[in-house]
């Protein structure tokens, strides 16, 4: 299978896992967002450590890779904090949509940092997808959820930067499990000061939900890392918007959330652009072979 198609499959699997993670985060109830983030990252850390030991990957990196690992961990952590806050305060599909602004930001940062070229079709697809996003979010200054929405959007920005760092690390040969391990360790340590002073006792079912959120997050984290290792952001990041579709389905069946007509229009626009990108890339590859 071609590397790009592997990237698409990985990113779709990651989108499903992250949507499932948000469901479990929501089900865990009124716990502090940073406390939820700690357990989410703790599970991912354990999984990463198991894989590192199994594959005998050394926890070391070249001198020039350290800054990119740090930036990936920093912005990834901020992205998780912002996303969990949004999930707790917004409709599930809206929170997912704001977080899924990250592919757009990833393309922008890939252009400026990695110097990856963007053609008109790719740019147009991203723009239309963003228009679809506006139909779903329906931004307004009279919106009482404006602050949570802005925090959620900030999470998307941070995730976009983090995924650009993943792309850089992938090009430099840094192993995916090591990237996840460094990120998860950093995130857990960043949550500890808050946990020491603001820890809230949890019920058994809340612990279960957070552990399940961590398992889903681990799947999503490894999926997204593998995706950006296999293909440039400009070719696959738009497929990350599929998380919104998964979130809408979960929201309907689990929380009785029914998106309005504008939201459905947004979903159609986003899915249509995903199809356009897939067909375009397939035809481009066929032409390159001739």
The angle, 0 to 180 degrees and rounded to 10, between the axes of the packed helices 66-89 and 33-54 is 140
pLDDT digits (tens, 9 = 90+) for 189-217: 999 998 888 899 999 999 999 999 999 98
pLDDT digits (tens, 9 = 90+) for 247-284: 989 988 998 887 778 777 877 887 788 778 777 777 77
pLDDT level of residue 1 (50, 70, 90 thresholds): low
Q: How many CA atoms lie within 13 A of 281 on its CB side?
A: 23
The whole-number pLDDT of residue 125 equals 81
**Nearest in space to 175 (alpha carbons), one of 53, 78, 75:** 53
Cβ(147)–Cβ(188) under 8 Å?
no
pLDDT level of residue 233 (50, 70, 90 thresholds): low
**Nearest in space to 149 (alpha carbons), one of 105, 87, 80:** 87
User: What's the mean pLDDT in 159-183?
Assistant: 88
**pLDDT of residue 82 exceeding 90:** yes
User: What's the mean pLDDT in 107-111?
Assistant: 80
Kindly report the number of other CB atoms within 10 A of residue 276's CB atom: 17
Q: What is the 3-state secondary structure (H, E, C) of the chain?
A: CCHHHHHHHHHHHHHHHHHHHHHHHHHCCCCCHHHHHHHHHHHHHHHHHHHHHHCCCCCCCCHHHHHHHHHHHHHHHHHHHHHHHHHHHCCHHHHHHHHCCHHHHHHHHHHHHHCCCCCHHHHHHHHHHHHHHHHHHCCCCCCCCHHHHHHHHHHHHHHHHHHHHHHHHHHCCCCHHHHHHHHHHHHHHHHHHHHHHHCCCCCHHHHHHHHHHHHHHHHHHHHHHHHHHHCCHHHHHHHHHHHHHHHHHHHHHHHCCCCCHHHHHHHHHHHHHHHHHHHHHHHHHHHHHC
Q: Which of 86-90, 132-136, 190-194 has the lowest mean pLDDT?
A: 132-136
Q: How many CA atoms lie within 13 A of 184 on its CB side?
A: 25
User: What's the mean pLDDT in 123-133?
Assistant: 83
Instruction: Determine the Cα–Cα distance for residues 283 and 274; give it in Å rounded to an integer.
Output: 14
The whole-number pLDDT of residue 26 equals 92
Joined together, the tokens standing for residue 150 give 């802005």
How far is C-alpha 175 from the chain's CA centre? 19
pLDDT digits (tens, 9 = 90+) for 62-78: 888 999 999 999 999 99
Cβ(165)–Cβ(225) under 8 Å?
no
Joined together, the tokens standing for residue 63 give 């001198």
Cα torsion 5, 244, 120, 154: sign: negative
The fraction of the chain above a pLDDT of 70, given in percent, is 97
The whole-number pLDDT of residue 73 equals 95
Instruction: Determine the Cα–Cα distance for residues 239 and 278; give it in Å rounded to an integer.
Output: 9
pLDDT level of residue 234 (50, 70, 90 thresholds): low
């Amino acid at each position: 299978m071609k590397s790009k198609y592997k990237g698409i499959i990985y990113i779709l699997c990651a989108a499903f896992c992250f949507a499932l993670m948000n469901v479990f985060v929501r089900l865990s109830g009124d716990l502090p967002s940073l406390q939820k983030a700690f357990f989410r990252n703790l599970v991912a850390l354990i999984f990463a450590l198991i894989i590192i030991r199994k594959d005998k990957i050394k926890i070391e990196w070249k001198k020039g890779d350290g800054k990119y690992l740090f930036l990936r961990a920093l912005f990834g952590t901020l992205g998780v904090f912002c996303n969990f806050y949004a999930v707790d305060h917004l409709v599930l599909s809206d929170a997912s949509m704001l977080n899924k602004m990250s592919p757009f930001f990833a393309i922008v940062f890939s252009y400026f940092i990695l110097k990856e070229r963007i053609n008109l079709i790719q740019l147009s697809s991203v723009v239309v997808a963003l228009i679809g996003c506006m139909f779903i979010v329906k931004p307004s200054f009279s919106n009482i959820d404006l602050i949570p929405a802005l925090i959620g959007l900030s999470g998307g920005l941070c995730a976009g930067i983090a995924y650009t760092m993943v792309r850089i690390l992938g090009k430099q040969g840094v192993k995916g499990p090591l990237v996840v391990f460094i990120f998860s360790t950093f995130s857990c340590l960043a949550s500890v000061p808050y946990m020491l002073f603001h820890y809230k006792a949890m019920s058994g079912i809340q612990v279960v939900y957070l552990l399940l959120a961590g398992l889903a997050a681990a799947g999503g984290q490894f999926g997204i890392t593998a995706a950006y290792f296999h293909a440039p952001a400009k070719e696959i990041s738009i497929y990350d918007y599929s998380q919104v579709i998964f979130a809408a389905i979960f929201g309907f069946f689990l929380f009785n959330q029914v998106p309005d007509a504008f939201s459905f229009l947004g979903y159609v626009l986003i899915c249509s652009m995903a199809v356009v990108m897939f067909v375009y890339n397939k035809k481009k590859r066929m032409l390159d072979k001739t």
